[in-house]
Copies of this chain bind each other. A is one copy, B any other.
Amino acid sequence: MIIVMKMKASSDDIDAVINRLHNGGWQTHVSRGEERTIIGVIGDERKLDQGAMSRMGGVDRVVPILRPFKLASRDFQAEDSKIEVNGHVFGGEKVIMMAGPCSVESMEQVMETAIAIREAGAHLLRGGAFKPRTSPYSFQGMGEEGLKILAAAREETGLPIVSEIMATDQIDLMCKYVDVLQIGTRNMQNYALLNAVGKTNKPILLKRGMMSTIEELLMSAEYIMSNGNHKVILCERGIRTFEKYTRNTLDINAVPVLKELTHLPVVVDPSHATGRWTLVKATSRASVAAGADGLIIEVHPNPAEATSDGEQSLKPKRFAELMVEVRRVAEAIGRTI
């Protein structure tokens, strides 16, 4: 951490800062420049309160040097984490394909979708039993009934299941039926929920908050990991910007940025990141080309009848086409699907 003093900081101000640091067990390097004095802090800055320091007399700014995340960092673990789900490994050479409906609506819908995506080559089945909806008047999901349908589809197709958990009191229920617990974009900073899933041993698909920075995503992963569960899969799903034509803006930069900063696997959700099914194929190819370890895609046998997010769902036939195109791109960069 570096503490930049104001131009008019007095010697007393400077001494007070230095004394406080020394009393707290840190060492300092003081540079008296032409216009200002700057104080370098030596020691573990994560334990130092940035706010408190910046509020001291004569202090202009405090500049952190270390990244605030630790367990999730490449500095902590250099090699890629590999997270296995029923034989499919996130973070390895293979690009993992997850697909399925936004909401579970019926046994027929899920079964038809599951069979179709497995035939097209998908590895996991996604589907929401509990749905976070902006409006209290919208369909809120089938609940446990929906989980049973997903489990039946797994029984039939062998595809493991990813599904969203919305509240801490759903933990036992979700763990009973589901292979990967998804934390949705609105819950990325629901710390009670992060702590709770951090105490399970299920892989967690952690979606980036639509309003969260890359660093905050990693801090939320850190919450889960600091509870003991290191099996975190990060998901870029589009951020909110001023652009109104698409539902969100897919932050494609986040893929190589995350691969630099962390050892955790990174997947992309092109369905939510665009909000329009006509854009899903192009952005899926782009995500794999950027280095994503997997994709999660909405597929619905009859999107026009979907209870949620029909605009962004692909029909099974289009998903099969997408698989062909994405596979070619994966191979072009030395990966498989």
Q: Which residues of B contact A252 (CB under 8 A)?
A: 250, 252, 283, 286
* Any B CB within 8 A of the CB of A173: no
Main secondary structure of the interface of A (DSSP, over half): mixed
How many A residues are at the interface, by size bracket? 35 or more
* Contact between A55 and B310, CB atoms less than 8 A apart: yes
Contact among B40, B209, B249 with A239 in the assembled complex (CB-CB below 8 Å): B249
A225 CB to nearest chain B CB (Å):
9
Assuming A52-B310, A223-B136, is B240 touching A242 (CB within 8 A)?
A: yes
Question: CB-defined interface of A300-337 with B at 8 Å, one 1/0 digit per residue?
Answer: 00011111111101000000000001001101110000
- 8 Å CB interface, A58-109 against B: 61, 63, 65-66, 68-70, 75
A108 CB to nearest chain B CB (Å):
17
* Contact between B308 and A283, CB atoms less than 8 A apart: no
* Contact between A192 and B166, CB atoms less than 8 A apart: yes
Tell which of A166, A191, A310 has the most Cβ of chain B within 10 Å: A191
* Any B CB within 8 A of the CB of A201: no
**Contact surface of A with B, Cβ cutoff 8 Å:** 2, 4, 7, 29, 31, 33-36, 38, 40-44, 46-47, 49, 51-52, 54-57, 61, 63, 65-66, 68-70, 75, 132-137, 166-169, 186-187, 189-192, 209-216, 219, 222-223, 226, 239-246, 249-257, 259-260, 273-274, 277-279, 281-283, 285-291, 303-311, 313, 325, 328-329, 331-333
